[in-house]
Structure 1
Amino acid sequence: MFRRHKPSSSEHKRDPAIHAPALPHNDMRSFFSLSQLVLSAGHLKPPPVLRHSKTTYFEVEILDAHSKKQICVVDKIPPSSTLLDVKHKFHKVCPQWSPSRIGLRLERNGSYLRDSVNIKALAASSIITLYFTDMGQQVTWTTVFLTEYTGPLLIYLLFYLRLSSIYDAKESARSLRHPVVHLACFCHCLHYARHLLETLFVHKISEGHTPLKNMIKGCTFYWGFTSWLAYYINHPQYTPPSFGNKQVTISALVFLLCEAGNHFINVALVHQNQSGNKGSFPSPSINPFTWLFLFVSCPNYTYEIGSWMSFTVMTQTLPVGVFALLMAIQMAQWARKKHQLYLKKCTTYRWRKRAMIPFIL
């Protein structure tokens, strides 16, 4: 009799196939393919959640600054809009007011907001309340300057021609003109022609507007004084300067130097604005006319006053002296404001500098 061999426990451990059931050949191939597919797919990620962007629109409530009554509500204002965009939408609702006539403020007695202000900077909530004031008929700054400077140029020429409606024809025919009369006409025309050309080709004038009444005031001042001083200088009984040709020549040279300096300073200021660094004080260049920047904040005003003072000495007339004095007072006020602005913006600004007159003002 044969006895069946009974495997030992150690043999069971060495041969695991005894306990594991054998997989069919097709199942093994399917399992291998599935494992390769899972490994090549990488980590499983949930599908991205689509988030819809929400744009917050503002509503602008416009009230009358005097009566506090609501005029209209301009809605659906994007956060990237400026105050000028609000004015245009306001104009569509109320066509009787053009955007240039619309003055908007955050408070009834506050300052007017600039057109470039972003509407988001004004918003404390989704509803913005602004107070409206009708600014009246407006004109562009370019129109203001061209009108103010063209008038004196033409008015002076009318007096220089000694029209019979202004002077006595017989007296004008008998009297001979002193050379200073011709020189004064040339200098006066040169001054305002320079202003006109710089307005058109040099200055970067703001696209804003100003009330029409301001232009009328400026034209009254410039045109009125031009008529007054031109009447005396071109009068047949005009008396030449006390010190003769020497006084006329020196003052004429100073006038031309101041005109040249004024022009080069204006060009330097334009280059400073184009560079984008408006917070820094313009520095002098190799041009000697710009060296005045080392001593004053507004050398263009310095040269302007120098032109009119030399013109006063050259013609030796009271109307020109009064005009030069009033211009000096006005420009001194403008220069002080700009000087204070430079002191606030420029950290490296030299305290020894003055506003308009070196070491004095």
Structure 2
Amino acid sequence: MFKRHKSLASERKRELISSRATRSILKNDLRNFHSLSQLILSAGPLRSAAAVKHVKTTHFEIEILDAHTRKQICIVDKMTQKSTIHDVKQKFHKACPKWYPSRIGLQLERGGPFLKDYVTIQSIATASIVTLYFTDLGRQVSWTTVFLAEYTGPLLIYFLFYLRIPYIYDMKESSRRLRHPVVHLACFCHCLHYIRYLLETLFVHKVSAGHTPLKNLIKSCAFYWGFTSWIAYYINHPQYTPPSFGNRQVIVSTINFLICEAGNHFINVVLAHPNHTDWIMD
């Protein structure tokens, strides 16, 4: 019996010793984990290996060929995915200074549409090398210049006929005949119309910063200036006859003209500021 009690006591001692050892190991593990967590927090957020490494940017080479001869003109390199056709034109101009950006036309295919300046390289690239065809668009002028030339010409031309320059009308006939009051009214209305156009071009319209070929300026000026010369010649002619219905016709026509001018000006102002037109729909 004594031996059994002794063996049981020794077993209990062993269990107590093992449990104490296990507890001390757990405490050491908790301390190590706590110190490790403190070290990680002090070091800041974890960063992935991909974030630490520099992101590689894909670059493209733009090969520019002549659209007529298919001969290589130059190669524009180091163009990123976000680069635009406008950026290509700028670098092309540096390589070939005789062609400034506004007269450079670039196409994906010969005879195809010209690429807009805002088109990105990523949207048209199918490989690391992109081939574009160059066409010289000729001399270019800004749209503001086009509109100012269109509207300034009629003012000056009409005054030449209104003053009855001797190279246009016969001096003897011009001196004999007095002008009807409606002729002066017509000059006032004509000048008011084109002065309004000029002021709206400068202060109201948001004219595009783009360019257009010089031939378009010539076409537009030919139309406006030619039409002005045609009506000014007959209205200011010494043999001009007043309206058939007299002052009633003149007054009604003048009122209609002023209403149309005011309406057109109002529409132009509204279109120039689209964010302030919600009240119209209320």
The TM-score, its normalising length taken from structure 1, stands at 0.68
Partner of 1:108: 110
Partner of 1:8: 6
Q: In 2, are the aligned partners of 1:159 and 1:230 still within 8 Å (CA)?
A: yes
Deviation at 1:91, TM superposition (A): 0.7
Distance in 2 between residues matched to 1:79 and 1:128, nearest whole Å: 12
Alignment of 1:46-125 (within 5 A): 48-49=48-49, 50-125=52-127
For 1:179, the aligned partner's letter is P
- Per the alignment, in what secondary structure is the counterpart of residue 156 of structure 1? helix
Alignment of 1:322-341 (within 5 A): none
User: Cα deviation per residue 1:161-189 (whole Å; 9 max; x = unaligned)?
Assistant: 12223222232222111111011101111
- Per the alignment, in what secondary structure is the counterpart of residue 42 of structure 1? helix
Tell me, which stretches of 5 or more residues in structure 1 are unaligned? 276-281, 288-361
Partner of 1:316: none
Identity rate of aligned residues, in percent? 62
Q: CA 1:284 to 1:105, structure 2 compared with 1: closer, same or farther past 3 Å?
A: farther
Deviation at 1:265, TM superposition (A): 1.0
- Per the alignment, in what secondary structure is the counterpart of residue 132 of structure 2? strand
Partner of 1:312: none
Q: CA 1:244 to 1:80, structure 2 compared with 1: closer, same or farther past 3 Å?
A: same
- Per the alignment, in what secondary structure is the counterpart of residue 255 of structure 1? helix
For 2:171, the aligned partner's letter is A
Partner of 1:40: 35
Correspondent of 2:245 among 229, 243, 246: 243
- Per the alignment, in what secondary structure is the counterpart of residue 138 of structure 2? coil
Distance in 1 between residues matched to 2:279 and 2:162, nearest whole Å: 39
Alignment of 1:1-361 (within 5 A): 8-16=6-14, 35-42=30-37, 48-49=48-49, 50-272=52-274, 285=280
Deviation at 1:192, TM superposition (A): 0.7
Distance in 2 between residues matched to 1:171 and 1:37, nearest whole Å: 116
Deviation at 1:221, TM superposition (A): 1.4
Q: CA 1:284 to 1:162, structure 2 compared with 1: closer, same or farther past 3 Å?
A: farther
Q: In 2, are the aligned partners of 1:12 and 1:18 still within 8 Å (CA)?
A: no
Q: In 2, are the aligned partners of 1:103 and 1:135 still within 8 Å (CA)?
A: yes
Q: CA 1:97 to 1:18, structure 2 compared with 1: closer, same or farther past 3 Å?
A: closer
Deviation at 1:16, TM superposition (A): 2.5
For 1:133, the aligned partner's letter is T
For 1:69, the aligned partner's letter is K
Q: In 2, are the aligned partners of 1:79 and 1:119 still within 8 Å (CA)?
A: yes
For 1:285, the aligned partner's letter is I
- Per the alignment, in what secondary structure is the counterpart of residue 128 of structure 1? strand
Distance in 2 between residues matched to 1:264 and 1:39, nearest whole Å: 75
Q: CA 1:244 to 1:19, structure 2 compared with 1: closer, same or farther past 3 Å?
A: closer
Distance in 1 between residues matched to 2:39 and 2:127, nearest whole Å: 44
Q: Which has the higher relative contact order, 1 or 2, with Cα contacts under 8 A spaced 6 or more apart?
A: 2
Cα RMSD (Å): 2.8
Tell me, which stretches of 5 or more residues in structure 2 are unaligned? 41-45
- Per the alignment, in what secondary structure is the counterpart of residue 280 of structure 2? coil
Distance in 1 between residues matched to 2:234 and 2:174, nearest whole Å: 13
Distance in 2 between residues matched to 1:198 and 1:87, nearest whole Å: 32
